[in-house]
């Protein structure tokens, strides 16, 4: 039982060291162009959705007032 605990402890420590060396924190910000293109793309999609949804909302509000008067 003691050997299993020691093996698990050493395995965890070794795996942690490998991950720390392999994936340093500054590598996740290595593609600022890609991130900025994605953000711009999502903003343009949001603008298109707002342009499409605004007339539909106006029609829905207008029909609601007509139904209330009836």
- Which parts of the chain register pLDDT below 70? 1, 24-31, 57-58, 60-70
What's the CA gap between 69 and 21, in Å, rounded? 70
User: What total of structural domains would you count in the chain?
Assistant: 1
Q: Look at residue 65 in the predicted model and tell me its pLDDT.
A: 58
How far does the chain reach from its first CA to its final CA, in angstroms? 81
**Which structural domain range is residue 65 located in?**
2-69
Q: Look at residue 1 in the predicted model and tell me its pLDDT.
A: 66
Q: Look at residue 63 in the predicted model and tell me its pLDDT.
A: 61
Q: Look at residue 64 in the predicted model and tell me its pLDDT.
A: 58
How many other C-beta atoms lie within 10 A of the C-beta of residue 68? 7
């Amino acid at each position: 039982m003691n050997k299993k605990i020691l093996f698990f402890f050493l395995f965890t420590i070794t795996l942690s060291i490998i991950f720390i060396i392999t994936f340093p924190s500054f590598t996740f910000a290595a593609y600022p162009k890609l991130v900025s293109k994605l953000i711009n793309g999502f903003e343009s999609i949001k603008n298109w959705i707002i342009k499409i949804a605004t007339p539909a909302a106006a029609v829905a509000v207008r029909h609601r007032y007509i139904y209330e008067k009836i």
